[in-house]
Structure 1
Amino acid sequence: MTKTKKPEGIETTTVPSKPQQILNVLNRDGGATLAELATLANWLPHSTRAYLTGLRKKGHVIDSDKVDGVRLYRISSSLEA
């Protein structure tokens, strides 16, 4: 099997993984709504909430606030010691 070389002068960008994208959105100052997270991950709302629960079990502190009738989620701090 031969390896193909990347053409010179062309830069490749790596797209963050889905979990990293979710963490990036949750780290925003305003946080994210459940709908934003579900759309980003292409998951159903119950799967998205389950993922947030998994993040909590891994040690992330996720704040949940209701603003104008919409729940916002954001990470207040990560991996507490």
Structure 2
Amino acid sequence: MRTHEFQPGRLIAGLVLMAAGALYLLGAAGQADPPWFFVLLMTLGGFSFAAVVGLVTYAVRRDRRDRITESGGSGGSGGR
């Protein structure tokens, strides 16, 4: 089975959307009454954080890849 590269930015974005969906479900069920702007700010903040994490992850992986190619090594990790 082929594995894929772990992407923490996408994980954070997914968790934020799941939390927003859970808040809306709780609101629809009458269990919670979150203000609309709270959910909006939470989602925008979570997406911003996910973007920063994604950029940092990309920069770290690019730096590692450049170091491996400069040293002449084959890497051998298969892109993981």
In the superposition, the TM-score normalised over structure 2's length comes to: 0.28
Taking structure 1 as the reference length, what is the TM-score of the superposition?
A: 0.28
Larger helix fraction of residues: 2
Which structure exhibits the higher relative contact order, with contacts defined as CA atoms closer than 8 Å and separated by 6 or more residues? 2
